[in-house]
Structure 1
Amino acid sequence: MDTKIILSVIWGVVTLIFLYGDVIRICSGDFTRMTGTTNFGQSVWLGIAVLMLIPILMIFFTLVLPQPVSRWANIIAAGFFFVFNLVGLPSYPSLYDKFLLAVSMVFNLVTIRYAWNWSS
């Protein structure tokens, strides 16, 4: 199978894992407990929106960017999300969150492996 298709599908899986975690967090009441009395401003919500848009856009960019650019975009984005989630992992109190983040981090490593070995 074509590497760009595999990478696009992986980004779709990562996006769904993030969304699934958000849905469970909202339904369980953990979102309210995690944010507490913190009132996020518009700039924080914009930052969250941009952050969560990256994996969604990677689905598209992986398919349309030239191979060398797509390869490095995948490595950089997956590496960023791996480190970001690794650093944030201890801040999540729920076991399901830690599990889903760990699964997404495995997919980040798989993305890096596929992109690293992707030859033109």
Structure 2
Amino acid sequence: MTTQRADRTALHTPLPTSNVPIQTKLAAAWTSFMFLYVYVDLLGLYKPGMVEDILKGKVFTFDISQTFAVSALAAMSIPALMIVLSTTLPARANRITNLVVATLLIPYMAFNLAGGEWLLYYGLGLAIELVLLAFIVRSAWTWPRTPAGA
């Protein structure tokens, strides 16, 4: 009887809340954002006609060139760099960098809806990206402060 009571008590014991450092939360959010960003583009290749357009040297309305590839790589590098920066920058610089970069990415990500095709697919991707960016902005904005005497 005692074992059953202990089992029931264990089931109703509140789960401990761990204090995850803000830097880890930001790095996790940027990691999630990066995976989603890549997968939206990758799965977009399954859209009928996309591969044919790529073979003809076009992505959306852009010519595939070294300039296009460098621009795309630079854009894709932002979340990867933010993972590292979120875990290594000092708190003040970290907070500002996360606020600025996440805020600037919001309109840039909205550009993915341009063109009007597959609005549900790209709309879902954008909605999740915006939730992640909003989390990053909110987390950086509300960065916990320690009293000067602590």
- Normalised-by-shorter TM-score class: 0.7 to 0.9
**1:9-48 deviations in Å (ceiling 9; x for gaps):** 0000000111111121113346445726853221121011
Number of equivalent positions: 120
RMSD: 2.0
Distance, in Å, in 2 between the alignment partners of 1:108 and 1:37 is 27
Normalising by structure 2, report the TM-score: 0.72
Residues 92 and 98 of structure 1 are in contact (CA less than 8 Å); yes or no, is this contact kept in structure 2?
A: no
Identity %: 22
Gaps of 5+ in 1: none
- Please tell me the residue identity of whatever aligns with 2:78: I
1:69 pairs, out of 59, 71, 93, with: 93
**SS of 1:27 mapped into structure 2:** coil
Gaps of 5+ in 2: 1-19, 146-150
Structure 2 residue 119 is matched with structure 1 residue 111: no
Distance, in Å, in 1 between the alignment partners of 2:61 and 2:113 is 21
Instruction: Give 1:49's aligned residue.
Output: 73
Distance, in Å, in 1 between the alignment partners of 2:123 and 2:144 is 34
Change (3 A) 1:59 1:84: same
**SS of 1:28 mapped into structure 2:** coil
Structure 2 residue 63 is matched with structure 1 residue 39: yes
**SS of 1:93 mapped into structure 2:** coil
Distance, in Å, in 1 between the alignment partners of 2:116 and 2:49 is 9
**1:30-70 deviations in Å (ceiling 9; x for gaps):** 64457268532211210110111000110011000111111
For the pair shown, which has the larger CA radius of gyration, 1 or 2?
2
Higher relative contact order (CA 8 A, sep 6+): 1
**SS of 2:64 mapped into structure 1:** coil
